[in-house]
Structure 1
């Protein structure tokens, strides 16, 4: 899977989980952790910080600007960011969180089917 798609899928899963009280604490904690890791990665870069804030407010409109910032800052290649994103997706899958992405996490490998394709991140 494309690392940007992995991170965005994790943000979608975490944000989606915030609207229900039944979602596991692991999803909520993982989502908070991912946002914190991204905040540290984006620190001092107002454009990136704003892209993350805008995305949280309106994911449909700001997905592309956030994806651009993930690439420009190198967050899409940061092992800590990717590990945090994988943790969110794994917790979301176990909690049964439904998003536009089909999330499958097995043995630390993530596969997502969504938006016209199947990709695997090893």
Structure 2
């Protein structure tokens, strides 16, 4: 793991050293431009750090959104199951009412709804 981090840092470090050496060379020729270049370079480094942090935050938001979507899908599935159960309960109530109605009517040999006899 450390070797991988070092490999990632090494090119960044080389780039930083190279840019610093260019600024030092420019310092000898034009100190004002060197100062401006150094300031601009530092500004760019800060902007890169900010962009990196924003990218990390965007990834976190994406993960949270994915989790919320999975949770919403689970909620929707449970709602469907609940709706199905309510429909079954309504059918059972209707069957019970029909049975009660059949029992109250004077129909000879009327069998209750759903009975196997």
TM-score by length of 1: 0.21
The structure with the largest alpha-carbon Rg is 2
The structure carrying a bigger helix percent of its residues is: 2
TM-score by length of 2: 0.21
Higher relative contact order (CA 8 A, sep 6+): 1
